[in-house]
């Protein structure tokens, strides 16, 4: 199905003329402004304490589902999968301790299927592994000068290149030699068993955009020229939990049609949510990031450097920015509630749920306990 029939099957014959070019017009009609529902229809948001409670609270969506047995089952499957990919020793222990099953169970409350939740757990595991081992953590072998060629091979693992005769075998050997590359290939294959090629490519290309930003970070660390906070924040737009949020409909067992997914208002909502959640990550990661021998970029640290102010003051500025972005998301979501697309409304609710689940996971994960 395509056009409006894919979005509202009941309107497929009642929505206007048929023929080439008319499906886009009918989709546009669905995006025509309508009166917004009253604010009391909005889901609950709340101010939440975090860390040691000394900083101002974070304004976040409520958590809609916590299911510890389901989270444990996803984690069990994730650790078995990671071992099959070649992770071992400390690398495998890190995946086991990360409680990514809990993250995806909190962040995707509209799915109770452990195999679909495993898609998100797998991809988040290898995104994190690549970030730690390739980009961020010097003690784990991350190196600014080695990062770009490592990421180029990951891209080849995710989105297979065309055969190139005798040159294909060395590539295959390289892809099989690193558990992170094996994991990316396996996770994308698993996604493809549950979702269309459209969903696979959305995930691939949001990942590749994120990798481009990692290259900027690597340059900043290599040269020692750290960016001002505004430049870091601009880069963070495409290196955020937006990438994880591209899996919302795949995990939920449906597909948001492209005219909705790529509408500027929907993308702005996703960017807001992704950035808000990554600011939560930065707030919880200040101590770890500052302690690295080659400090990684962090919004709190960038603000403190720009303003030559105490970290505590930079924390308050970051909290205020986070809360502003979440309130803008809430307002934008309310404005889109009048659009009569079940898929769109489910997807936007999923984006909101990701923010709430992401906060809860960061606030309770030992990785960020310091």
On whether residue 245 sits in a domain, the answer given is: yes
Residue 54 has pLDDT above 70, yes or no: yes
- What's the maximum distance between 2 C-alpha atoms anywhere in the chain? 64
- Look-up: residue for tokens 């949001």? 206
Q: Residues 314-322: what's their mean pLDDT?
A: 98
As a whole-number percent, the residues of the chain with pLDDT over 70 amount to: 88
What's the burial of 193, exposed, middle or buried (CB within 10 Å: 0-12/13-18/19+)? exposed
Residue 4 has pLDDT above 60, yes or no: no
| CB neighbours of residue 10 within 10 Å | 9
Judge whether 81 and 129 are in contact, CB under 8 Å.
no
Residue 264 has pLDDT above 50, yes or no: yes
On whether residue 15 sits in a domain, the answer given is: no
Residue 259 has pLDDT above 50, yes or no: yes
- Residue 27 pLDDT: 39
On whether residue 48 sits in a domain, the answer given is: no
Q: Residues 208-228: what's their mean pLDDT?
A: 91
**pLDDT band with cut points at 50, 70 and 90 for residue 322:** very high
**pLDDT band with cut points at 50, 70 and 90 for residue 118:** very high
On whether residue 34 sits in a domain, the answer given is: no
- Residue 288 pLDDT: 82
On whether residue 37 sits in a domain, the answer given is: no
**pLDDT band with cut points at 50, 70 and 90 for residue 44:** confident
Whole-angstrom distance, CA of residue 88 vs CA of residue 90? 6
Q: In residues, how long is the chain?
A: 370
Whole-angstrom distance, CA of residue 359 vs CA of residue 276? 10
The encoded tokens of residue 335 equal 């404005």
Judge whether 229 and 303 are in contact, CB under 8 Å.
yes
- Residue 43 pLDDT: 55
- Look-up: residue for tokens 């592994």? 129
Residues forming beta bridges with residue 337, ordered by sequence position: none
Q: Residues 218-227: what's their mean pLDDT?
A: 87
Whole-angstrom distance, CA of residue 369 vs CA of residue 186? 31
Whole-angstrom distance, CA of residue 160 vs CA of residue 166? 16
- Residue 42 pLDDT: 52
- Residue 37 pLDDT: 40
The DSSP annotation for 229-259 comes to: HHHHHHHHTTSSTHHHHTTHHHHHT----HH
CA angle, 135 then 308 then 367, to 5°: 35
**Which region, left, alpha or beta, applies to residue 327 given φ > 0 means left and ψ of -120 to 50 means alpha?**
alpha
Residue 12 has pLDDT above 50, yes or no: no
Q: Residues 329-338: what's their mean pLDDT?
A: 96
Residue 221 has pLDDT above 70, yes or no: yes
Q: Which residue has the higher pLDDT, 191 or 18?
A: 191
Compute φ and ψ for 89, nearest 5 degrees: 55, -135
Judge whether 281 and 362 are in contact, CB under 8 Å.
yes
Whole-number Cα distances in Å, 90 to 99, 108, 110: 15, 28, 33
- Look-up: residue for tokens 């709430």? 356
Residue 109 has pLDDT above 50, yes or no: yes
On whether residue 3 sits in a domain, the answer given is: no
Split into its structural domains, the chain has a count of: 1
Residue 227 has pLDDT above 80, yes or no: yes
Whole-angstrom distance, CA of residue 262 vs CA of residue 267? 6
DSSP SS3 for 58 = strand
Q: Residues 287-310: what's their mean pLDDT?
A: 87
Residue 357 has pLDDT above 90, yes or no: yes
Q: Residues 191-209: what's their mean pLDDT?
A: 97
Judge whether 53 and 320 are in contact, CB under 8 Å.
no
CA angle, 181 then 243 then 33, to 5°: 155
**pLDDT band with cut points at 50, 70 and 90 for residue 23:** very low
Q: Residues 302-325: what's their mean pLDDT?
A: 97
Q: Residues 41-60: what's their mean pLDDT?
A: 87
On whether residue 221 sits in a domain, the answer given is: yes
Q: Which residue has the higher pLDDT, 105 or 142?
A: 105
Q: In this structure, what CATH number is given to the domain that contains residue 235?
A: 1.10.600.10
Q: Residues 165-179: what's their mean pLDDT?
A: 95
- Look-up: residue for tokens 């309508």? 34
Residue 299 has pLDDT above 80, yes or no: yes
How far the first Cα of the chain sits from its last, in Å, is 50
What does the buried/exposed string (b/e) look like for 244-271 if buried means 16 or more CB atoms within 10 Å of the residue's CB? bbbbbbbbbebbbbebbbebeebeebbb
On whether residue 172 sits in a domain, the answer given is: yes
Lowest mean pLDDT among 7-21, 37-51, 300-314: 7-21
DSSP letter (8 states) at residue 262: T
What residues make up the domain containing 293? Answer: 55-368
pLDDT digits (tens, 9 = 90+) for 229-253: 999 999 999 999 999 999 999 999 9
- Mean residue pLDDT across the chain: 87
Q: Residues 314-338: what's their mean pLDDT?
A: 97
């Amino acid at each position: 199905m395509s056009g409006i029939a894919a979005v509202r099957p009941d309107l497929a014959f009642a929505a206007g003329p048929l023929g080439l070019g008319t499906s886009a017009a009918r989709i546009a009609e669905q995006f025509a402004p309508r009166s917004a529902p009253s604010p009391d229809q909005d889901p609950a948001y709340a101010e939440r304490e975090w860390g040691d409670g000394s900083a101002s609270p974070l304004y976040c969506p409520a958590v809609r589902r916590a299911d510890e047995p389901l989270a444990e089952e996803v984690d069990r499957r994730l650790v078995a999968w990671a071992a099959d990919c070649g992770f071992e020793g400390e690398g495998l222990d890190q995946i086991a301790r990360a409680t990514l099953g809990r993250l995806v169970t909190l962040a995707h409350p509209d799915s109770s299927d452990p195999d679909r939740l495993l898609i998100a757990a797998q991809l988040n595991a290898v995104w994190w592994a690549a970030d730690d081992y390739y980009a961020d953590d010097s003690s784990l072998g991350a190196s600014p000068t080695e990062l770009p060629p490592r990421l180029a091979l990951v891209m080849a693992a995710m989105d297979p290149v065309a055969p190139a005769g005798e040159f294909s075998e060395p590539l295959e050997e390289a892809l099989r030699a690193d558990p992170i590359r094996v994991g990316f290939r396996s996770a994308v294959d698993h996604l493809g068993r549950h979702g269309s090629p459209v969903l696979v490519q959305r995930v691939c290309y949001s990942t590749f955009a994120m990798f481009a930003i990692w290259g900027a970070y690597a340059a900043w660390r290599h040269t020692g020229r750290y960016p001002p906070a505004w430049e870091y924040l601009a880069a963070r737009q495409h290196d955020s939990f937006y990438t994880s949020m591209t899996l919302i409909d795949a995990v939920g067992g449906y597909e948001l049609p492209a005219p909705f997914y790529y509408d500027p208002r929907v993308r702005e909502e996703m960017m807001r949510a992704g950035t808000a959640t990554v600011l939560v990550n930065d707030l919880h990661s200040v101590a770890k990031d500052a302690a690295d021998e080659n400090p990684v970029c962090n919004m709190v640290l960038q603000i403190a450097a720009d303003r030559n102010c105490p970290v505590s003051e930079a924390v308050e500025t970051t909290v205020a920015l986070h809360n502003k972005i979440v309130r803008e998301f809430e307002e934008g979501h309310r404005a889109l509630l009048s659009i009569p697309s079940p898929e769109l409304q489910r997807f936007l609710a999923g984006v909101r749920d990701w923010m709430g689940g992401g906060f809860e996971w960061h606030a309770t994960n030992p990785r960020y306990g310091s």
